[in-house]
Every structure is written in C-alpha cells, then in structure tokens.
Amino acid sequence: MPTDAALAAPAPPAPFPLRAHFLVAVLLALLAWAAHATDLDHLLAQAAFDPVQRTFPARDWRLLGLVGHQLAKSAVWIVWFVLFAASIASLRLASLAPWRRVLWATTAAMAAGPALVSMLKPFTGPRCPWDLAEFGGSAAATSDWLVRSAEAGRCFPGGHASGGFSLLAIYFAGVMLAAPRLQFAGLAAGFGAGLAFSAVRMVQGAHFLSHNLWSACVVWTVAMVIFALAHPKMQPAFAASATRTA
C-alpha cells in the first residue's frame, strides 16, 4: 500500500507516448495475422487434439476448467472490483483524491476492453476449433470477419484471454503516474495472465492462437485510447484539435 505521503502527492505525469503505444497495437495485430497466415493456429490446435477420440481431451479436465477458467476469471473480477471501490472512495476520501483520475481510467480500461471483445463476438465469422469439422465438430472454416449475427461463430476474438489482458490497464496507470515499477508489474500481469488464459482455452479447443492475439490487440488499443483521453498532458492537445475542427 502507498504511504499517506505518497497518496497525497503522486508524481507529476510524464507526456503520454501515444505513437509508441500505437506501434505496439500494430505489432500485436501483425502477430495475430501471422499466427493465422502461417498456419501456426492449426499446428497448435492439432497438438492439443486427439485424432482417435476426435476431441480435445483437456476440454474434460475439471481441474483445468476450475482453476484455469473459473477461478482465474474470478481473480480478475476481484482486482476490478477493488479498483472500482477505490475509484468510488476517491470521490469522498481526501487521501485518494489525487489518484482519482488514474483510478477511474484504470477501472474503465479494464472493463471496456473485454466488453468490446464480447460485443464483437456476435458479429464475427471465425469459429472455435472444437466447432470445426477437422477437429470433431461440424462447421466449415470461414475467413469472413464480419458476418450477420445468424452466421456468427461467436468465438472471435478470445473472450477469456481478454480478461487476462485487461490487467494491462495497470501498465497504463504506471505510464500516467511515471512509475516504472508499476509499468513493469502491469506488463507482467497483463501479458502473463493473458497468455496463460489463452493457453488454457487453446488446449481445451475453444480458441486459436490468433483469436487471443487479436484480443490482446483490442484490449491494448482500448486501454491506450482511454488513458490518452484521461492523461492530463494530452487533454490540452485534444481541446485544441476540437477547436480547430469546429
């Protein structure tokens, strides 16, 4: 926990490096595209698939489902609720008031990225591996990203992974606070949890690697936009831009 002195005097925010963070989003998009284009998606899915039983054995591993899916998701929810509670408290507690902006931005970014992923699912065509005929299902593979709701695969981008990647909001909080240790912790937690959540669902046959990398790209981009809008040193530039446009 920060000391009272630290709570009362957060470090002055450094300029927000929007271009560098945008390049990271582009890199994540390129990695997702490459996983699909090079057939790495299918190679990894085949490694987890039992061609004799025509199923993904890990799909029936109860312990993996409990720990890697249900409890892991609950842990992220707990982090979010703690941040949300602190954000609410910052409206009343003077000791948290200096941190109000970063608390609300972190809370919003953690929620908005996975929410956007969930909203995309009913309108995207890619199927889960376990739905495809080559992996024991009955559906044909499709390369169509946006489709009508009735034709949606409801699997893309990866939903469970987005919860893990949502912890990247902590990294952006570190950027706003000019706190390198918090930045490192956010990167480690966000990418660590996101990749771990991805691995669980991949061995279960629920997602291809590219599904989860696209999820990382969406979550990173949403967090980047929210923190850019919330960053004190970016707001004068946005205001000036809006004035010129008007």
Which tokens is 62 given? 């109860």
**Cβ neighbours of residue 75 under 8 Å, at least 6 residues apart?**
none
**Cβ neighbours of residue 56 under 8 Å, at least 6 residues apart?**
48, 49, 50, 129, 130, 135, 136, 203, 204, 205
So what's the pLDDT on residue 233?
Answer: 62
So what's the pLDDT on residue 241?
Answer: 44
Query: pLDDT at residue 9 above 90?
Result: no
| Higher pLDDT among residues 14 and 223, named by residue | 223
Q: What is the pLDDT of residues 78-112, one digit of tens each?
A: 999 999 999 999 999 999 999 999 999 999 999 99
DSSP state of 67: I
Mean pLDDT along residues 7-16: 63
Q: CA-CA distance, 238 to 229, in Å (whole number)?
A: 8
Mean pLDDT along residues 158-166: 98
Tracing tokens 């300029």 back to the chain, one arrives at 15
Which tokens is 19 given? 């271009």
Q: Model-level pTM? A: 0.90
Lowest-pLDDT choice from 27-36, 122-131, 138-147, 173-182: 138-147
Q: CA-CA distance, 190 to 47, in Å (whole number)?
A: 26
- In whole angstroms, how large is the CA radius of gyration of the chain? 20
In 3-state terms, what secondary structure has residue 139?
Answer: strand
Chain center to CA of 26:
15
Q: CA-CA distance, 12 to 15, in Å (whole number)?
A: 10
Query: pLDDT at residue 144 above 90?
Result: no
